Amino acid sequence: MVKRSPPGVLQAPVWAVDGGQHRWAILFAGLVWTFVHSCGGGADPMYRQLTAEPPAYDWQADTVEPTDRFEIRVAGEPELSGEFTVSGRGTINYPWVGELQVQGLNCDEVSALIGDALRQGYLRDPSVTCQITEINSRKVDVLGEVHRPGTFVYEESMSVVRAIARAGGFTEDAAPNRTNVLRLIDGVETRISIPVDDILSGNAPNFVLQPGDTVFVPRYTLIP
């Protein structure tokens, strides 16, 4: 039993009296924390949900906007095949046909539009296919403690790690495991906590971004 000090005299804490037990308690607590942490028990529930069942984003099914690029192939007609960039007016200049308004159309709709145009006195039954090659209109923002914060073109299946690398990586003041992704989900801006340190060490799955996401890396501060 620990001897109590007289009133007015500071009593030594229990761990100072029995340092051995205290050290074992700290060690046990550390082992429990490591186990729970490695199993993802401390992860943001939204992060766990979105990495277990990542929402599908098919950029080939998305609409084309200014600065996007796509490839058109017309069977047996190489002079009508090639890559096109959507202009600021939302148009492309297509051989034989001239200017076509394509902004807001998906690839299937672009193929149908070009096919219909070619049937107007050019080809009897053209076979037209379309494939998006660059989706430059879709962006992600990377802000906070990175070397080159800014807005970056979204890449297919772009991960949070890839986006941070595009922004020059973390500064020395960054808190990687407190990285947040802001995403609009069902019309509500949602903050998702991303354990980037754990991802880099292989202890957590990577997180795939969506166009329009904002990645924010906070400054490291001690949490009391």
Per-residue pLDDT of 200-211, as tens digits, reads: 999 999 999 999
Quick one: tokens of 196?
């980037």
Domain boundaries of the chain, sorted by first residue = 46-56+138-217, 69-134
On whether the CB atoms of residues 213 and 183 are closer than 8 A, the answer is yes
Question: Which CATH number describes the domain made up of 46-56+138-217?
Answer: 3.10.560.10
Identity (one letter) of the amino acid at 176? P
Name the pLDDT band for 15 (thresholds 50, 70, 90). Answer: very low
In sequence order, which residues have a C-beta less than 8 Å from that of residue 162 and are 6 or more positions away? Answer: 155
42: confidence class by pLDDT, cuts 50, 70, 90: low
| Chain centroid offset of residue 44 CA | 16
Q: Which residue has the higher pLDDT, 53 or 18?
A: 53
Helix/strand/coil for 136: coil
Mean pLDDT of the chain: 84
Cβ neighbours for 68, distance < 8 A, ≥ 6 positions apart: 85, 86, 132, 134, 135, 136, 137
Given the candidates 3.40.50.300, 3.20.10.10, 3.30.1950.10, 3.40.50.620, the CATH classification of the domain at 69-134 is: 3.30.1950.10
Average pLDDT value for residue range 112-139: 94
